[in-house]
C-alpha cells in the first residue's frame, strides 16, 4: 500500500489500480481527484472539500463513490447511493479498502463559533486521517496523519496528541498555511528540539510517496 501526500490535508492511498483520495480541498491541486476509485471527506471546510470539484468528478466517473459525514453528504443531493453518510463506529469498504470511522466533531476553533461534524478514517487498519480533530481511535494506529497546524490547535496539543495515539510513525498533514520558517519551527518541536514523543515524525512534500 502506498501513501502519497497531495498538499495540505489531502493524501492518496493506493494499491495497484485502487486509488483512495482523502480530503481533496481547495489547497490541493484538483488533479489529485484524477483516477480516484473512491473519495473520503472528513468534514465540510473548504480546505478539505470543494463541492463543485467533487461533484464534477462524480459526474465524469459514474463508478466513483464518496464516504463522508451526514453534513457533507447533504451537499450532494441527487447522487443517490453513490454518496454514503457514515459516523463514529461504522466500518465500510471503499474501493476495496477496509475503512473504520472514528470521531464525531471538529475541534473547537473558538467557543463562539459553531462546531461542524468531523469524522476520521482508519484505512486498512494501517493509516489514520483524523481530519480537523485530535481523535484517539482507541485501536492500534501504525501510521498517523498528523494535523500539523490549524486555527484550532497549538503545538503543545499536537505533541500531546502524538503521545496519546502512540502510533508507530507519523506524517504531517494540514500544513498548507505554514511558510518555510513555520515548518522548520513546528517540525523541530516534534523532533529533536521538542520535549519528545514515542513516535518517529516526518513530513512528505506534495507529490512524495512512501510505502506502508
* Cα separation values, 112 from 108, 109, 154, Å: 9, 9, 18
Sheet-wide strand order for 169-173: 91-94, 97-102, 120-123, 127-129, 143-147, 169-173, 201-202
Residue 79 has pLDDT above 90, yes or no: no
**Predicted confidence band at 80 (pLDDT cuts at 50, 70, 90)?**
confident
What is the pLDDT at residue 64?
97
Q: Are 138 and 120 within 8 A, CB to CB?
A: no
pLDDT digits (tens, 9 = 90+) for 84-142: 999 999 999 999 999 999 999 999 999 999 999 999 999 999 999 999 999 999 999 99
Can you identify the CATH homologous superfamily of domain 2-201? Ribonuclease Z/Hydroxyacylglutathione hydrolase-like (3.60.15.10)
Amino acid at each position: 500500500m502506498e501513501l502519497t501526500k497531495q498538499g495540505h490535508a489531502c493524501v492518496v492511498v493506493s494499491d495497484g489500480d485502487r486509488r483512495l483520495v482523502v480530503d481533496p480541498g481547495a489547497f490541493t491541486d484538483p488533479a489529485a481527484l484524477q483516477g480516484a476509485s473512491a473519495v473520503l471527506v472528513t468534514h465540510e471546510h473548504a480546505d478539505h472539500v470543494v463541492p463543485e470539484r467533487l461533484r464534477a468528478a462524480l459526474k465524469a466517473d459514474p463508478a466513483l463513490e464518496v464516504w463522508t459525514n451526514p453534513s457533507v453528504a447533504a451537499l450532494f443531493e441527487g447522487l443517490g447511493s453513490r454518496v454514503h453518510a457514515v459516523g463514529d463506529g461504522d466500518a465500510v469498504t471503499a474501493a476495496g479498502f477496509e475503512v473504520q470511522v472514528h470521531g464525531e466533531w471538529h475541534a473547537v476553533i473558538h467557543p463562539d463559533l459553531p462546531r461542524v461534524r468531523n469524522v476520521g478514517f482508519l484505512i486498512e487498519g494501517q493509516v489514520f486521517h483524523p481530519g480537523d480533530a485530535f481523535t484517539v481511535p482507541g485501536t492500534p494506529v501504525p501510521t498517523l496523519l498528523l494535523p500539523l497546524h490549524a486555527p484550532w490547535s497549538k503545538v503543545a496539543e499536537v505533541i500531546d496528541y502524538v503521545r496519546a495515539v502512540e502510533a508507530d510513525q507519523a506524517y504531517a498533514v494540514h500544513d498548507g498555511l505554514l511558510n518555510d520558517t513555520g515548518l522548520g519551527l513546528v517540525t523541530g518541536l516534534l523532533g529533536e528540539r521538542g520535549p519528545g514523543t514515542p513516535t518517529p515524525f516526518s513530513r512528505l512534500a506534495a507529490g512524495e510517496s512512501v510505502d506502508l
